[in-house]
Copies of this chain bind each other. A is one copy, B any other.
Amino acid sequence: VIARTPTAEQLDERELRAWRGLLRAHTALVKALDCQLVDGHGLPLTSYEVLMQVADAPDGRMRMYDIADSVLLSRSGLTRLVDRLERDGLLRRESCPSDARGSFAVVTEAGREKLEAARATHLAGVRELFLSHLGPEEQELLGAIWERVLPAAGREAEGAPACDEACDGG
């Protein structure tokens, strides 16, 4: 499908800076933003993202399945995370009247307050550490790039429970 990519045995300087830079920048950004939230509000970044998704959804509620999808976490991973948020009183589970298999997570009043405070910190952090270093056109271009990359990478990543391919390595 790719038009005969070059088969050099190494990435050249330019490729390397684009690729390894992505890895390093992502790690540094996530670590820094997580620290800000934990220090300031006792709320890790992943928990923040779940809380925000739920709180911003209509009626402050979402099905577990939909949250997991929007947050880039496995279903079981989300279950544990919501366990923690429920234990902290920020979220509450409710069963679904129309389909008893489904389960809702609903934001609590405490959850909304915590989110309100954390959101200010997080927005400032994302802007200071990331967005402020980009011009408007660069933001635009980045967004376009991710939309090109994501389908290919996502397709490959979702291939199968434990990937796909012909396992030779054993």
What is the interface of chain A, defined by CB distance below 8 A to chain B? 2-3, 5-6, 8-11, 14-15, 17-19, 21-32, 35-36, 38-43, 72, 119-120, 123-124, 126-134, 136, 138-143, 145-150, 152-154, 156-157, 159, 162-170
The 10 closest A-B pairs by CB, nearest first: A21-B146, A17-B143, A42-B169, A35-B163, A28-B153, A32-B156, A32-B157, A31-B157, A39-B165, A18-B142
B2 touches A124 (CB 8 A): yes
A149 touches B32 (CB 8 A): no
A130 to B149: give the CA distance in the assembly, Å. Answer: 6
A132 to B23: give the CA distance in the assembly, Å. Answer: 17
Return chain B residues, CB-CB under 8 Å to A162. Answer: 35, 39
Return chain B residues, CB-CB under 8 Å to A30. Answer: 23
A165 touches B36 (CB 8 A): yes
Return chain B residues, CB-CB under 8 Å to A36. Answer: 156, 163, 165
Return chain B residues, CB-CB under 8 Å to A139. Answer: 14-15, 17-18
A39 touches B146 (CB 8 A): no
